[in-house]
Amino acid sequence: MPSTIRTTTLPSGEAVPVLGQGTWKMGEDARRHADEVNALKLGLDLGMTLIDTAEMYASGGAEEVVADAIAGRRDEVFLVSKVLPSNASRTGVPAACEASLRHLRTDRIDLYLLHWPGSVPLAETVEAFEALKKAGKIRHWGVSNFDTHEMEELVSLP
């Protein structure tokens, strides 16, 4: 029987697991692909339904591992991926998101994060995230690896 993972509530009211499976270093060696897929599947079977990945992990290879792990189970998973700061522009965000969606073999990312702050103005990134949300490509967006000052800048945006 799957374990029950504690949840937190997003501003939308949706409950999301506070503990998930990470994929850093997955997808780097084809000889480990089946083991990595099976590890994620076991985690899902045990109730760990949040999976975190990123476009930079093995240049999309980790997202491909995730795709194999969630095949036929997409609706069970809360899928998180991250865009690189170098792709965080008005045109870069949608292009990076489309590449991630192809790697993940899904029509949506549940939570799309800016991996860390970069040189693109944060307002431009947020605008691109909002456009993806409106288009149904992502359900929620956020940030990762931001310090207090950077979070303050984010919350000050309209």
* 1, part of any domain: no
Based on the structure, what is the number of domains in the chain?
1
The first and second tokens of residue 3, run together, are 């374990």
Query: Measured between alpha carbons, how far is residue 104 from residues 35, 108, 131, 147 in Å?
Result: 18, 9, 20, 29
Angle at 120 between CA 156 and CA 109, to 5 degrees: 80
57 has catalytic annotation: yes
Residue segments in the chain with a per-residue pLDDT below the cut of 50: none
Model confidence pLDDT, tens digit, residues 100-146? 999 999 999 999 999 999 999 999 999 999 999 999 999 999 999 99
43, 57, 65, 94: the active-site residue = 57
Other beta carbons within 10 Å of 13: 6
Angle at 11 between CA 108 and CA 13, to 5 degrees: 80
Q: Note the pLDDT of residue 4.
A: 84
The enclosing domain of 130 has a CATH number of 3.20.20.100
* 122, part of any domain: yes
* 2, part of any domain: no
pTM assigned to the model: 0.95
Please give the residue range of the domain that contains residue 87.
7-156
